[in-house]
Amino acid sequence: MKPLAVGVLISGRGSNLQALIEACRDPATKAGIRLVLSNKADAQGLARAAAAGIETAVVDHRNFPDRARFDAEIDRRLREKGIELVCLAGFMRILTDEFVDRWRDRMINIHPSLLPAFRGLDTHARALAAGAKLAGCTVHYVRRELDTGPIILQEKVPVLPGDTAERLAARVLEAEHRAYPAALRLIAAGRVRVEGERIFIDGVETSASAAAASRPSG
């Protein structure tokens, strides 16, 4: 089977990108990253991609008069490379509804909370302030509304006594580095099917609670 052509959008250090790069080195993942694109020329993730021999591109949002034209250029670059799945990995720009719709069910994101809890920013500090006993991460398909969309999988991380936002963030990031490659493997192997807002893995419908119940391997 031909490897799934993946494009990764980043804005910063690219630690989740690195996890995806390492996963794609294994032929069993059945996916290959063809393009890493950033809106920032100094994003550390670009160097990670270059070191792995992956083509990179910079599309600076400041060079465009509006979001629509910025997104249109990103879309053009992705299509030019034959990208089949877009992975958002710390891409700090809100995409237009038109772009999201164009890549519906072909764009995934990882978020550092157990969605639908703690959407948006400052997830770890908010989880601690709320007295949450569990934190974690979620890999989901992207929809118009921020941090929503069908959940592919989640990984739970316990909140420990004396946790700070920084300590919790570090443990959740380790979970992200397991969960994102696991989700990519599932999709690339053709094991994930999306029907509206429902997810089926190996023909069995999953839910947020079911997805959170099992920790992904690998």
Contact between 6 and 32 (Cβ < 8 Å): yes
Q: Do β-strands 4-10 and 31-38 pair in parallel, antiparallel, or remain unpaired? A: parallel
Residue 111 a catalytic site member: yes
Kindly give the residue spans of alpha helices, DSSP state H, lying in the chain: 15-24, 44-51, 67-80, 97-102, 123-129, 165-188, 208-213
Query: What is the 3-state composition of the chain as percent helix, strand, coil, each rounded to the nearest 5?
Result: 35, 25, 40
Beta strands in 81-141 (DSSP E): 85-88, 107-111, 134-141
Whether the CB-CB separation of 218 and 185 falls below 8 Å is answered with yes
Question: ∠145-35-66 over CA atoms, to 5°?
Answer: 45
The neighbouring-strand residues paired with 88 are 9, 109
Smallest CA-to-CA distance from 215 within 167, 174, 164, 163 is with 174
Is cis: bond before 181, omega within 30 of 0?
no
Residues facing residue 141 across a β-bridge: 108
Among 61, 111, 140, 177, the active-site one is 111
Catalytic positions, written as ranges: 111
